[in-house]
Amino acid sequence: MLPIAQCVVILALGTSIRAQTEKVDVEGLRKKYAASCTPSSTSEPCKQMRWKLEYALYTDLVLSMQDGQTPPPSAIEVGLNAETPQLRALALQIAPQGPAKVASAVAGIDSPYATVRQEAANVIRSYGDDKQRGMLDRQASGSRPEYPVADEAPDPARLKVKVYPGATYRYFASNDEEAYFSTPDPPEKVAGFYTQGGRKAYSASELQEAMKARARGAMDQGKMMQMIQEAQAKGQDPTQAIMAWQKSLAGLGSDPTRNFEGRQGIVSPRYIPADDMFSRVVVVFRDELVGATGIAVPLPPKAADAAMPTGDAVMQQVARMQFLQQPTIDSPPAGD
């Protein structure tokens, strides 16, 4: 590992064309960074200076490679530990095979930047050991932009459940359909956190039976008619009652166990519904590929979290048609 002072010198390869274009005083910035920051500094000013210096190095490397020059090993070493996604991804591409390249890839697989995760996965796939390559089985499919934009962990409002204290969001195993967290705590302790308040942890077969029972109750037409009658008694629009009934069915047609049962490295998954409608099911398990306890929270489409529509023509028409198909609701019971 290079000394901090030498790292700073390398980061500020003083004649960056990119820096000149932006009229950045690289030498002055290098001195300011060296005087007030270290590579481990987390303050916003230090971060901004480091990113400018790293981007200067990135630009110099690209231009020098275009001229046929071989990147210096010291610059590649800095790149493998860079925070700037452009420099980190480039270094993973051009670094010679060795422990430093693999170590950077293992760390980079959890970068919030998809461009870095892509290069990290390529390195692990080619040069990693069996355990490291096995971890790629957790890599979630999804959109992979070709430009460096940071992904964000889903907010609690979309998760609908609390994040386990101290759990780490794993970018490489998450996508728009599922949030994946991990913790070194044992699965039993994690499951205990999510079963507070009377929630139950199910096995796969137990969950499927519970969901079937819930579906049978939800599909009861008599229940829907009762909801309509109650809405009418309160002077409310019965179509709104039907839309509420439709929304209560969300999630009952899905199988939260299908992506976990029998999958490599997943040990004894427990399924914990976060609500009575089974629309959010937290899955807790020992993940032998990641080497930690995994916590998976399936996510609904973002549109599903929108407020219940009141003026949507299509939804209103569907609900009204269902209402009109129940002619006995407004009729008195037939006499004996």
Reduced to 3 states (helix: H, G, I; strand: E, B; else coil), residue 181 is: strand
Same structural domain, 128 and 194: no
In this predicted structure, the answer to whether residue 314 has a pLDDT above a threshold of 90 is no
Distance CA 21, CA 56 (A): 11
Same structural domain, 272 and 173: yes
Phi, psi of 193, rounded to the nearest 5 degrees = -65, -40
Q: Is residue 50 part of a domain?
A: yes
| pLDDT tier for residue 211 given thresholds of 50, 70 and 90 | confident
Q: Environment class of residue 108 by beta-carbon count within 10 Å: exposed (0-12), middle (13-18) or buried (19+)?
A: buried
In this predicted structure, the answer to whether residue 172 has a pLDDT above a threshold of 90 is yes
Range of the domain at 26: 4-138
pLDDT number for residue 253:
54
- Predicted confidence (pLDDT) per residue in 301-312, tens digit: 665 554 444 445
Same structural domain, 210 and 293: yes
Distance CA 75, CA 98 (A): 16
Partnered with residue 113 across adjacent β-strands are 150
Same structural domain, 17 and 124: yes
Q: Is residue 211 part of a domain?
A: yes
- Predicted confidence (pLDDT) per residue in 1-14, tens digit: 434 433 443 344 33
Dihedral of CA 136/137/143/149: which sign? negative
In this predicted structure, the answer to whether residue 174 has a pLDDT above a threshold of 90 is yes
Q: Is residue 336 part of a domain?
A: no
pLDDT number for residue 44:
93
- Predicted confidence (pLDDT) per residue in 43-101, tens digit: 999 999 999 999 989 998 999 999 999 999 999 999 999 999 999 999 999 999 999 99
Same structural domain, 102 and 166: no
Same structural domain, 314 and 187: yes
- Predicted confidence (pLDDT) per residue in 243-301, tens digit: 666 665 555 557 889 889 999 999 999 999 987 777 789 999 999 999 999 999 988 76
Same structural domain, 88 and 176: no
Max avg pLDDT among 85-89, 147-151, 222-226: 85-89
Provide the domain count of the chain. Answer: 2
Distance CA 8, CA 307 (A): 51
Q: Is residue 14 part of a domain?
A: yes
Q: Is residue 333 part of a domain?
A: no
Same structural domain, 66 and 173: no
Q: Is residue 147 part of a domain?
A: no
Taking a C-beta distance cutoff of 8 angstroms, is the pair 150, 113 a contact? Answer: yes
In this predicted structure, the answer to whether residue 184 has a pLDDT above a threshold of 60 is yes
Q: Strands 168-169, 178-183: parallel, antiparallel or unpaired by DSSP?
A: antiparallel
Same structural domain, 39 and 181: no
- Predicted confidence (pLDDT) per residue in 96-147, tens digit: 999 999 999 999 999 999 999 999 999 999 999 999 999 999 998 766 666 7
Q: CB neighbours of 302 closer than 8 A, spacing ≥ 6?
A: 158, 176
Same structural domain, 120 and 228: no
| pLDDT tier for residue 20 given thresholds of 50, 70 and 90 | very low
- Considering 77, 105, 138, which residue would you say is the last residue of a domain? 138
Same structural domain, 94 and 243: no
- Considering 138, 172, 200, which residue would you say is the last residue of a domain? 138
Q: Is residue 235 part of a domain?
A: yes
Q: Is residue 332 part of a domain?
A: no
- Considering 82, 111, 138, which residue would you say is the last residue of a domain? 138
Same structural domain, 52 and 201: no
